[in-house]
Amino acid sequence: DAGVTQSPTHLIKTRGQHVTLRCSPISGHKSVSWYQQVLGQGPQFIFQYYEKEERGRGNFPDRFSARQFPNYSSELNVNALLLGDSALYLCASSRRGLAGSSYNEQFFGPGTRLTVL
């Protein structure tokens, strides 16, 4: 089975531009989460979507937005790019959106490396 896929692999933008990153979850997974990993740090949670609704949001400015489509794929949009947005953006999918009483493993994609000049 195909794993989580992300596109593009690499992206170079200039300050002030807008960027859209894409993620396709594992077949049958209904939840997608986005993480930002700045060089030398651990991933930081940005958003979680489940059944096309936002279920969680991290401490990121309104320049960051996301959505989930009927086929459960997702887009992360970042407006007015800043140098500090340069990072690896990771997408993770899981079967369900609720932690509940049993573990709901998140499977990560290979990431999109965004460089802002």
Residues in contact with another protein by CB under 8 A are 31, 33, 35, 40-45, 48, 50, 55-56, 58, 88, 90, 92, 94, 97-101, 103-106, 108-111, 113
Q: Which is nearer to another protein, 23 or 92 (CB)?
A: 92
> What residues contact residue 61 under an 8 Å CB cut-off, 6+ apart?
none
> What residues contact residue 50 under an 8 Å CB cut-off, 6+ apart?
30, 31, 68, 96, 97, 98
In whole angstroms, the minimum distance from the beta carbon of 52 to another protein comes to 15
Neighbours of 64 (CB within 10 A): 17
In whole angstroms, the minimum distance from the beta carbon of 9 to another protein comes to 10
Residue among 1, 2, 9 at smallest CA distance from 90: 9
In whole angstroms, the minimum distance from the beta carbon of 93 to another protein comes to 10
Q: Which is nearer to another protein, 55 or 67 (CB)?
A: 55
